[in-house]
A and B are shown apart, each in its own frame.
Chain A
Amino acid sequence: MTVQTEIRSAPHIKGPRSVEQIMANVVYSLAPICAFFVYQYGISALASILVVTASCLLAERVFVRTGTQAGSLSDFSATITGLLLALTLPPGFPLWMGVVAGFSAMALGKALFGGIGFNVFNPALVGRAFVQAAFPAAIATYTPSFLPGRFTEFIPSSLAWPLMAPADTAAWLKAMQYDALASASPLARWKFEGFVTPAWDLVTSLTGHMAVGPSPLLILLCGAYLALRRFMDWRIPIAVLGSAGLSALLIYAVFGTRFPDPFFMLFSGGLVLGAVFMATDMATSPVTPRGMWLYGALIGLLTVVIRFYSGLPEGVMYAILIGNAATPLIERITQPTPFGKGVSIRARRQATYTLHPDYISREEAGAKTPKKRFLKNKPK
Chain B
Amino acid sequence: MSDLSQTRTFDEFMEGIWRQNPVFVMVLGMCPTLAVTVSAMNALSMGLATAFVLVCSCGLVSLMRNIVPKEVRIATYIVIIATFVTVVDYAIQAVSLAVYDALGAFIQLIVVNCIILGRAEAHASKHPPATAMVNALGMSLGFVIGLLALGTVREVLGAGTLFGVSLFGANFQPWVVMVLPPGGFIVLGAWLLLFSTLKQRKEVRLAEQGGGHGA
- Residue positions of A touching B, CB distance < 8 A: 94, 97, 108, 130, 133-136, 138, 160, 163-166
Q: B118 in the interface, Cβ–Cβ < 8 Å?
A: no
Q: B180 in the interface, Cβ–Cβ < 8 Å?
A: yes
A166 touching B176, Cβ below 8 Å: no
B168 touching A133, Cβ below 8 Å: no
Interfacial chain B residues near A164, Cβ < 8 Å: 168-169, 171-173
Q: A134-B175, A134-B177 are in contact. List 7 more A-B contacts (CB 8 A).
A: A94-B173, A108-B186, A133-B176, A133-B182, A135-B175, A163-B160, A163-B172
A134 touching B178, Cβ below 8 Å: yes
Q: In the complex, what residue of chain A is closest to B182 when comparing beta carbons? A: A133
A135 touching B176, Cβ below 8 Å: yes
A163 with B176, Cβ < 8 A, contacts A108-B186, A133-B182 known: no
Q: Can you give 14 contacting A-B residue pairs, CB < 8 Å?
A: A94-B173, A130-B177, A133-B182, A134-B175, A134-B176, A134-B177, A134-B178, A135-B175, A135-B176, A160-B173, A163-B172, A164-B169, A165-B171, A166-B173
Q: How far, in whole Å, are A160 and B173 apart by their CA atoms in the complex?
A: 10
Q: How far, in whole Å, are A85 and B126 apart by their CA atoms in the complex?
A: 57
Whole-angstrom distance between the Cβ of A66 and the nearest chain B Cβ: 9
Interfacial chain A residues near B176, Cβ < 8 Å: 133-136
Whole-angstrom distance between the Cβ of A171 and the nearest chain B Cβ: 15
Whole-angstrom distance between the Cβ of B201 and the nearest chain A Cβ: 11
Q: How far, in whole Å, are A160 and B168 apart by their CA atoms in the complex?
A: 14
Whole-angstrom distance between the Cβ of A109 and the nearest chain B Cβ: 13
Question: Using a CB-CB cutoff of 8 Å, which residues 100-116 of chain B contact chain A?
Answer: none
Whole-angstrom distance between the Cβ of B204 and the nearest chain A Cβ: 13
Q: How far, in whole Å, are A136 and B171 apart by their CA atoms in the complex?
A: 16
Q: How far, in whole Å, are A137 and B72 apart by their CA atoms in the complex?
A: 56
> 1/0 per residue B179-198: CB within 8 Å of A?
01010001000000000000
Whole-angstrom distance between the Cβ of B57 and the nearest chain A Cβ: 38
